[in-house]
Structure 1
Amino acid sequence: MNEILQYLKNHGERLDTDIAGATGISLATVRLQLAELAAKCEVVVCHSIKFKKGKKVEGTIYRI
């Protein structure tokens, strides 16, 4: 979890998929650890819907 917190401190708001790719931690593990951090109020969770080239893209963004 410390690696994820450090990544967010250094890079700011990021999607869970970006965090997994940058840290080399599996997406499932990243999501589990982020859920634990959110439960402890150590990260803020935002559900996001964006449109790229007319296509709906949903994701979860995390920040400290």
Structure 2
Amino acid sequence: MVDPTSDLGEDVDEEDAPECATCGTKIVQLPSHRVVSWVEDGRAHHRHFCSEECLADDDEL
């Protein structure tokens, strides 16, 4: 996967793009892209969302 901190649209192919944790949409050049990050047991975790609506609908946060 491409570095999740890179700017969207910078050489991100759909094949390498992150998927929305709620609906599974590939996130390529979406200005509504949201990432939630947290540290658990000394490891960094993150989840990508294509929109505020998908973020609000996530059951695991």
Q: Establish whether TM, by shorter chain, passes 0.5.
A: no
TM bucket (normalised to shorter chain) is 0.3 to 0.5
Q: Could you tell me the TM-score, scaled by structure 1's length?
A: 0.32
Whichever structure has more helix as a proportion of its residues is 1
Q: Which has the higher contact order (CA 8 A, sep 6+)?
A: 1
Whichever structure has more strand as a proportion of its residues is 1
